[in-house]
Amino acid sequence: MSPPPHWPPPQAQADSPQGAGVAGDYVKVYSTATEECLHVLQGHSNLVTGVQLNPQNHLQLYSWSLDGTIKLWDFLDGILIKTFVVGHKLFAFYAVASFEGSAFVIIAKDNDERLGSFQLVSVKLPKAPGQEINANEWEVILEGVSQSPKCTAFGREGEYVASVWGLHLFVYFFKRKRIHSFPLSAKCSKGANNFFTCVACHPKEDCIASGHKDGKIRLWRNFHHKREYTFSTLHWHHDEVMDLAFSVEGTSLLSGGVESVLVQWRDGSDSKKEFLPRLGSTIQNISVSPDGTVLCTSHSDNKITIIHSSLRVSAVIQGLIKGSDVKTGLMVDPRTNALVLNGKPGHLQFYSLQNDKQLYNLDIVQQEYIHQHGLNQVELVKAAFDSSGSWLATVEQREEKGGEPEAQMKLWAYDEQKQSFALNTQINMPHEDRVTALCFRGMEEPDSATPTVVTAGKDGRFKVWMLLTETDGGSRSGNWTCDFVGSYHNYQATNCCFSEDGSLLAVSFEGIVTVWDSETWDLKSTFCHPPGTIR
């Protein structure tokens, strides 16, 4: 499960053959080869805000949390080695090889994040005996930094730290204890937006890469001098750069954003770039393994993609996709007992709660999703299974402002050979207005009964759809057709449900429940429920 939406998804660290990612208040260790979860590192009492390999020992992992602690783990065996109690909510953490015995964290000023002011501080990590140690000796390095871990990075051999906030790049030099500030113009000409979004430092050279709201990347050099600094610009992303990472040797720079494309820039050149497209959703974090053979990206749909250094996807670790709105509601697939709900746009996700693993995605809409704000796109709004899991009904809609709504109902038959659902029937505009409800008739003897599904609509009608099969013994090659249309005083039909034995159908029309005989479709009874619409 992913962290709450107001937190940036934590970084995923890749190291062959294992990688670690954050999930709520614990850390999961996965095999990058098999995608299996090997260990769950539990012990934090609040949201874990990130993980990082120990630069002194790549078989150990640091995790940090809003509970105010830093934990050091042997992640191969899933054992907690030490807990350092800082006592402040930790928003970011940086272990730097040249600063052995200490680390850097981002905390809220006066321990109150509501003020919106954060500071980068150096914390001593004592080598005292015992499993829980107080780490309350710290020194402020930079004031007024961003709380995002992606907005602060350490330069080669820890000589300096770069931090971006708003329209400013700050560089602090440890030996000289001096800060240089490099401001950018707030004027946005030709669609430019100079606000910083992320920063990365070259591992071998004095070069800082910064990402910006308008999709530009700037490469800063000569920043040891306040006035004689230079920067060059790379531009491919059409929206903000979400994260940047240099390769281990610094020969290439990786960038990602809402386009779901990983871009690799060779030698800092605009002309030497390679792409890994169609990664499925916004790239939020990029991480490179210490040996440089593997890199990984974490995504807005709660996914980690493991990528070979040759830009080839080798594994995908998919969590429960958390969209902005679960329009289908929550269902259970009768065949697999998987939780079924809206997944990535236009898809249903089948998720095993027992194994905490996605089984598969079913593409319902079968159209390419366009990442453009304000664009009206086809949405999957309704779905239902029959009692045996042999049939799936879905409704997809697109509403144009001031125009007629578009809607399609699709009936899917389960294919035993493919172990998935295949499209059987497609019905354009099943109702003249929006579809409000969808349900199958459950039967005591499903094999002998005709599969039946009912839809309700804002056009004041409910419709009964039945499967018409061939005469050769009920082959499922038949198609679905409308068998009956019912209404009640032109009220909007809002909900529908069959009785357990399938003999009665209840349909609500705003504040009235109507009960119908499912054999003759005669109206049997009505129940008034004033005031208000039945939900």
Average pLDDT over every residue of 195-206? 96
333-359: pLDDT as tens digits:
999 999 999 998 899 999 999 988 899
| Residue of higher predicted confidence among 209 and 444 | 209
Task: State the Cα–Cα distance between residues 286 and 125, nearest whole angstrom.
Answer: 27
CB atoms under 10 Å from CB of 310, counted, come to 9
Q: Which residues make Cβ contacts (< 8 Å) with residue 154, sequence separation at least 6? A: 94, 96, 104, 160, 161, 162, 201
Distance from the Cα of residue 295 to its chain's centroid: 18
| Residue of higher predicted confidence among 447 and 496 | 496
Distance from the Cα of residue 382 to its chain's centroid: 22
What's the pLDDT band for 371 if we cut at 50, 70, 90?
Answer: low
Name the percent of the chain lying above pLDDT 90: 75
Average pLDDT over every residue of 262-281? 90
Please give the structure tokens belonging to residue 449. Answer: 């009964």
12-38: pLDDT as tens digits:
444 446 777 777 889 999 999 888 999
| Residue of higher predicted confidence among 370 and 473 | 370
Can you give 259-300 as a three-state secondary structure string? CCCEEEEECCCCCCEEEECCCCCCEEEEEECCCCCEEEEEEC
Distances (CA, A) of 237 to 66, 73, 513: 33, 37, 54
For the entire predicted model, the pTM comes to 0.83
Q: Judge whether residue 364 has pLDDT over 80.
A: yes
Choose the most confident range, by mean pLDDT, from 178-192, 213-227, 469-483: 213-227
The pLDDT of residue 455 is 97
Of 8-17, 161-170, 186-195, 225-234, give the lowest mean pLDDT range. 8-17
Give the type of residue at 34.
Answer: T
What backbone torsions phi and psi does residue 190 show, to the nearest 5 degrees?
55, 40
The pLDDT of residue 24 is 81
Q: Judge whether residue 373 has pLDDT over 70.
A: no
Q: Judge whether residue 317 has pLDDT over 60.
A: yes
User: Would you call the peptide bond into 531 cis, given omega within 30 degrees of 0 as the criterion?
Assistant: yes
- Return mean pLDDT, the chain: 90
Average pLDDT over every residue of 155-183? 95
88-97: pLDDT as tens digits:
999 999 999 9
Do 456 and 493 contact (CB within 8 A), yes or no?
yes
The pLDDT of residue 5 is 35
Please give the structure tokens belonging to residue 315. Answer: 């594994």
Of 15-19, 297-301, 313-317, give the lowest mean pLDDT range. 15-19
Task: State the Cα–Cα distance between residues 121 and 98, nearest whole angstrom.
Answer: 16
The per-residue b/e assignment along 47-63, b for 16 or more CB within 10 angstroms, e otherwise, is: bbbbbbbbbeeeebbbb
Task: State the Cα–Cα distance between residues 438 and 455, nearest whole angstrom.
Answer: 5
Choose the most confident range, by mean pLDDT, from 184-193, 404-413, 436-445: 404-413
CB atoms under 10 Å from CB of 180, counted, come to 18
The pLDDT of residue 530 is 67
Name the percent of the chain lying above pLDDT 70: 92
Q: Is 241 helix (H, G, I), strand (E, B) or coil?
A: strand
Task: State the Cα–Cα distance between residues 435 and 463, nearest whole angstrom.
Answer: 10
Q: Judge whether residue 188 has pLDDT over 80.
A: no
What's the pLDDT band for 471 if we cut at 50, 70, 90?
Answer: low
Task: State the Cα–Cα distance between residues 58 and 62, nearest whole angstrom.
Answer: 10
Task: State the Cα–Cα distance between residues 265 and 281, nearest whole angstrom.
Answer: 21
The pLDDT of residue 7 is 35
The pLDDT of residue 185 is 86
Matching residue, tokens 């996914």:
303
Q: Judge whether residue 225 has pLDDT over 90.
A: no
Do 44 and 26 contact (CB within 8 A), yes or no?
yes
What's the pLDDT band for 324 if we cut at 50, 70, 90?
Answer: confident
Q: In sequence order, what E strands does 416-492 have?
A: 420-428, 435-440, 452-457, 461-468, 479-487
